Structure 1
Amino acid sequence: MNQFLKRVELQKCQKLADEIDRVFPLDSNIKKAIASTPREIFVPVGFKHHAYKLDALPISKNQWISSPLTVAKMTQFLEPKGADSVLEIGCGSGYQAAILSKLFRRVFSVERIEKLVWEAKKRFKELNILNINVRYSDGMLGWREFAPYDRILFSASLKNIPQNILEQLNNGGILVAPIEKDGKQIITRFIKNSFTIEKEELDECLFVPTKRGTV
């Protein structure tokens, strides 16, 4: 990518970060992560002119890349400051993981659709992002080999957090997920203490549902 195009791309990223910040005030490190991650790389060619709007967009295999506003909210609710490792369940296009890579030393992302795994890996290589590990697997299994994680993020909705996923969260760690409740989806934050899980409902959202198995 030549320097002029890169400069134009980063200007668009900064404008997007500023627009999100006006709607949902961002921590400076999260705003910087959004302002330095070109969203157009993560959307299909036919939708690149919509890449810097606050819209969710379709990607391969009937999946969606979340609105950048939703990505910003999920990231901020995760409270990344001071955390080392994060597990994302549902890599999708890879945009959320790319944002997380600017905020965590180690990012682990699980995706059940093989085509999306290879597409995401290609994008990370293109952007020279080296601290994201992607696994083709049933996301509801997590990634036990590298557990426990300081943070866990679900990029797909579900009714309840499986016990085996909570077991992969560090004591004192935070899990953020879109929880299905009364016909709605609510971004919910779970904080794991020694013997209890604190739960806080934060905001309405819209995600594709979590599914079992791989395709």
Structure 2
Amino acid sequence: MQSLKTANMVLEISKRFKISPSVEKAFLSVNREIFVPNGFAHFAYTLDALPMGANQWISSPLTVAKMTEYLQCEGADSVLEIGCGSGYQAAILSRLIRRVFSIERIEKLLNEARTRIKLCNFSNINTKLDDGQNGWNAYAPYDRILFSASIQEIPQSLIAQLSEGGILVAPIERGNAQIITRFIKCDGILREKQELEQCAFVPVLNGLDKES
């Protein structure tokens, strides 16, 4: 039943946004129901964002598909995600990229994401409690960096952790709007800026939110 529901979800995504066979396969191999909050299982396969506590949201499967495609995962060996959230985006990336590193600043959400990832037996996802703007220097450089939260400007520390020729995708805040933007690092700086589409993400925040 779960696989049929997942297949129907992927079909609905593909009606709205063209996804590659590899991304389709990744979606079919992840049980989204595991990643939605308690009480929301009956909404797991809709193309809606869902609340998950701490004023955060689990992105719509359509948004996750778009961000994954825009990241151009083929040929990448490592990816850094800023904003683990529910863990669903990291789970999808783990089916496409050998090593996934995901940072979350809210301890409660990170602990829940870790439990879900463990339930899926995904062994190539590494998570860390930190302010995502610091990145994760120990495993840098990364072939890809993905922001799962909006930001005004990409921190220099994260640009430094992106491989030369690597791709970074982020929702960039511009006035009252957010634009999914793709960058390629050339000669140590982000170039080839490509604005892809408007979006709605929660913003990147400073510091940690630790459980008492």
TM over 0.5: yes
CA contact (8 A) 1:15 1:35 kept: no
Percent same amino acid among aligned pairs?
Answer: 60
Distance, in Å, in 2 between the alignment partners of 1:94 and 1:152 is 15
Higher helix share: 1
Q: 2:49 aligns with which of 56, 70, 84?
A: 56
Match in the other structure for 2:93: 100
Q: Which runs of 5+ in 1 are unaligned?
A: 1-7
Aligned length: 208
Distance, in Å, in 2 between the alignment partners of 1:142 and 1:9 is 35
Deviations 1:111-167 (A, max 9, x none): 000011111111111110000000001111000000000000000001010111000
Question: How far is the alpha carbon of 1:195 from its aligned partner?
Answer: 4.6
Q: Which runs of 5+ in 2 are unaligned?
A: none
Distance, in Å, in 2 between the alignment partners of 1:195 and 1:40 is 40
Q: CA RMSD in A?
A: 0.8
Q: 1:77 aligns with which of 59, 70, 91?
A: 70
Match in the other structure for 1:5: none
Which residue identity does 1:174 align to in structure 2?
A: I
Match in the other structure for 1:41: 34
Which residue identity does 1:23 align to in structure 2?
A: R
Deviations 1:42-63 (A, max 9, x none): 1112111111001000002111
Match in the other structure for 1:211: 205
CA contact (8 A) 2:80 2:100 kept: yes
Question: How far is the alpha carbon of 1:182 from its aligned partner?
Answer: 2.5
Distance, in Å, in 1 between the alignment partners of 2:40 and 2:55 is 15
Match in the other structure for 2:166: 173
Structure 1 length as normaliser, TM-score? 0.95
Q: 1:143 aligns with which of 136, 147, 162?
A: 136
Deviations 1:82-134 (A, max 9, x none): 10000000000000000000000000000000011111111111110000000
Distance, in Å, in 1 between the alignment partners of 2:37 and 2:88 is 12
Match in the other structure for 1:67: 60
Match in the other structure for 1:3: none
Which residue identity does 1:76 align to in structure 2?
A: E
Match in the other structure for 1:152: 145
Distance, in Å, in 1 between the alignment partners of 2:48 and 2:133 is 27
Question: How far is the alpha carbon of 1:184 from its aligned partner?
Answer: 0.5
Distance, in Å, in 2 between the alignment partners of 1:100 and 1:66 is 14
Match in the other structure for 1:4: none
Match in the other structure for 1:13: 6
CA contact (8 A) 2:160 2:188 kept: no
